[in-house]
Structure 1
Amino acid sequence: MRITAIRDIVAPIKSDIANAYIDFSTMTASVVAVVTDVVVEGRPVVGFGFNSNGRYAPQGLLRERFIPRLLSARPEDLQGEDGLVDPHRAWAAMMRNEKPGGHGERSVAVGVLDMALWDAVAKANRVPLWRLLADRYNGGEADATAWVYAAGGYYYPGKGLEGLQDEMRSYLDRGYSTVKMKVGLVPLEEDLARIEAALAVLDHDGSRLCVDVNGRFSLEEAIRFGHAIAPYNLRWYEEPVDPLDYLAHAALATVYAPPLATGENLFSMQDARNLVRHGGLRADRDILQFDPALSYGLVEYLRTRDMLAAHGWSPRRCVPHGGHQFALNIAVGLGLGGNESYPDVFAPFGGFADSVPVRDSRVAMPDIPGIGFEAKSALYAVMRPVAEG
């Protein structure tokens, strides 16, 4: 298997929505197509990748460093024993001459290409990625379904409590039983009213609602907010403080007993290790949200999984950020705790295959080779022209 071409574009995912920290009015994503010389059913195998929301398209890094390194590598240096491209070897080629630390945006660029490589390898094997991962890394055991939750509840111009409730009802109507909403942008009393409005739609069952601060609070604000929401017994309280302030996480965990969730803005195994070493998180209840598409891809995620196991964390405590099919395949194949879902935002990148229904916040994976992008028509309409050049 040889890589014959790599093509990329920048696609807009702009929206008028906002969380407590940023708006998404200028958000973009990189889309790549890795074309190979392997032919299946008369067509060259092409792997696709893109970056998750929240980070902008890393086109400069892709074109200046990481795509050229893949294309200039000797084909035999990228191949595994089966003759196909080995994503681990490709990862090493992409990271050649890169110093450790400073994970920043380069982890996003590598993650985009890593996603495309795994898609291509699974297609060349004619199996879904979740099956490939289960067979290689999970003793052949794949979950029958994955738990998913509907992420929404963004701040939006003119959106009041009734609009928030209508949004949450729409998720329930589409099969989700657990939902998430944004908090932290408005005064505490206003956010509490928003939380109570959402809970009214959920039969006042706090275990069905997650809240997400997106790292906006100081420790003092996070503690105050935590005291206010603790009686609701929410599913989790997400990213309450800066993602790299491990001491603040540890301090908050001493006074907030219900589950915390964080990790979507940590982009390496080393950062994840610092979090579990120094962040005071509790392996019996807290949630880790590392996003493989943003954090150097699946190759690095496998290292993170092994590190977590060495520190006493079950993969079931991992629920990746991003709401994309790549993370969903990983969740099913590696036995994670579930996956985020974006039913209404970040189109066409959010959401899963068109034929995959959600029932009681669970989805079953289709038997489609690769990651399954071809079964999501709106997304494939963006990807296919990239492959064709």
Structure 2
Amino acid sequence: MRIVDIKEKAVSIKSTISNAYIDFSKMNVSVVAVVTDVVRDGKPVIGYGFNSNGRYAPSGMLHDRFIPRLRDAKPAELLNDAGTNFDPHRIWDVLMKGEKPGGHGERSVAVGTLDMAIWDAVAKIEEKPLYQLLADWYGNGTPDEQVFVYAAGGYYQPGKGLQELQDEMRNYLDMGYSVVKMKIGGSSLDEDLRRIEAVLKVVPDGGSLAVDANGRFDLPTAIDYAKKLEPYNLFWYEEAGDPLDYQLQNELANYYKNPMATGENLFSMQDARNLIRYGGMRSDRDYLQFDCALSYGLVEYMRILDMLKEYSWSPRRCIPHGGHQMSLNIAAGLGLGGNESYPGVFEPFGGFADNIPIEHGYVKLPDIPGVGFEAKADLIELMRTVAK
């Protein structure tokens, strides 16, 4: 059992949208294909992976460091004890050989991209959906039948006024979502409040709307927003300040009693643990948004979940960033609280399986081996071009 080839391609997902910090005019992602010599249904098993939006394609690191390490490893170093499948944990150790601790930077994105492809291949070899494999190996054998998802949108965009913002949010509700999210921090506080109040006119109530500042605010600004947002009783107030400014997050909790969310830009178990230790996050109401595709993959995500248990946090408080099928599988298989969704944005990477609708804010997963990329026609078509 061997990995016979590993290929990578940077794919553009550029658009005219922007959040409070960046625009997406030059955004791209890496797509990888890990080709094995294992045959299922008469074809070699190929595992696919990609990195989440918001971080650029880590092509250089993949080709300079991580793919060569995987290619140079002895086959036995990559397999489980029985030699019947690849071992993602051992492969993670191979990828990280020679890497010093700390300074996680963008290397976590490169490793997370490969890790996704490895898990896709492993589940395909086992001939199980990844969510079922995770439930069998690490849970009680019974995955969640459906997963809560919310529609992330409400970006700033040229020519997009209040009417267009309202139309966008109505469309998400019509698609079956029960919670929508919009960006804040890219305008003045007064303008953002007008935008929020416009959306509140079309959603059922404040609990159907989350807002996301993308780390834009200093503490005084974060507090100013908190005081104005609190009466709306929103679903959550997300990433008010820099993701590594744990003191800001801690202090903000003194001014905002309703749920907050952060964590999508923390890329290791150690950084996640520092958030729990020092960030003032409240396990009875706040949400954690760690994204496996940006943070060294599922192997590291399981370390994060183990750490959270030590601090008495339920995995149901985790709703990962990214809006991709990998996190959806993790949510169903390991019992998380839900997953982000990007309807109509960052295509073809955003969204889930074709022909499985969103119903009352929940989505089911396809019953096919692997992550389920083959159930999303435009995505698997692109991925197969990388494997050629």
- What is the aligned partner in structure 2 of residue 147 from structure 1? 148
Q: Within 1, Cα distance between the matches of 2:321 and 2:211?
A: 14
Amino acid paired to 2:73: A
The one-letter amino acid of 2:96's match is M
Give the Cα–Cα distance (whole angstroms) in 2 for the partners of residues 98 and 56 of structure 1: 21
Q: CA deviation at 1:154?
A: 0.2
The letter of the residue matching 1:251 is E
Counterpart residue number, 2:72: 72
Among the aligned pairs, what percent are the same residue?
65
Structure 1 segments of 4+ aligned residues over 3 angstroms from their partners:
none
Match of 2:182 in 1: 181
Amino acid at match of 1:117: I
Question: Cα distance, 1:16 vs. partner?
Answer: 0.3
**1:94-243 superposed matches below 5 A:** 94-203=95-204, 205-243=205-243
Give, in angstroms, the shift of residue 34 of structure 1: 0.1
Distance 1:147 1:40 in 2: 32
Structure 1 length normalisation: TM-score?
0.99
| Residue equivalent to 1:44 | 44
One-letter amino acid of the counterpart of residue 125, structure 1: E
**Cα drift, residue 82 of structure 1:** 3.6
CA separation in 1, counterparts of 2:100 and 2:275? 21
Instruction: Give the match for residue 257 of structure 1.
Output: 257
Amino acid at match of 2:307: M
Deviation at 1:141, TM superposition (A): 2.5
**Letter matched to residue 147 of structure 1:** F
Distance 1:355 1:88 in 2: 33
Q: Please give the secondary structure, in 1, of the residue aligned with 2:4.
A: strand
Please name the residue that 1:379 is paired with: 379
Distance of 2:86 and 2:63 partners within structure 1: 20
Partner Cα separation in structure 1 for residue 331 and residue 6 of structure 2: 27
Query: Equivalents in 2 of 1:355, 1:171: separation in Å?
Result: 16
1:369 aligns with 2:369: yes
* AA at the equivalent of 2:129: P
SS at match of 2:100: coil
Equivalent position of 1:293 in the other structure? 293
Distance in 2, matches of 1:144 and 1:31, equals 28
Equivalent position of 2:33 in the other structure: 33
Q: TM-score, normalised by structure 2?
A: 0.99
Deviation at 1:9, TM superposition (A): 0.4
> How many residues are treated as equivalent by the alignment?
387
**Residue type of the alignment partner of 1:29:** V
- Please state how far the C-alpha of 1:344 moved relative to its aligned partner: 1.4
- RMSD, aligned α-carbons: 0.6
Counterpart residue number, 1:317: 317
Paired with 2:324 and 2:120, the residues of 1 have a C-alpha distance of 13
Q: Distance in 1 between matches of 2:364 and 2:325?
A: 12
**CA displacement at 1:138 relative to structure 2:** 1.1
Distance 2:243 2:195 in 1: 24
CA–CA distance in structure 1, aligned partners of residues 377 and 156 of structure 2: 28
Instruction: Quote the Cα distance in structure 2 between the aligned partners of 1:238 and 1:288.
Output: 10
Q: C-alpha offsets along residues 94-138 of structure 1, whole Å, 9 cap, x if unaligned?
A: 000100000000000000000000000000000000000011111
1:45 and 1:197 map into 2 onto residues whose CA distance is 49
For the residue of structure 1 that corresponds to 2:261, the secondary structure is: strand
Amino acid paired to 1:305:
L
Secondary structure, aligned partner of 2:211: strand
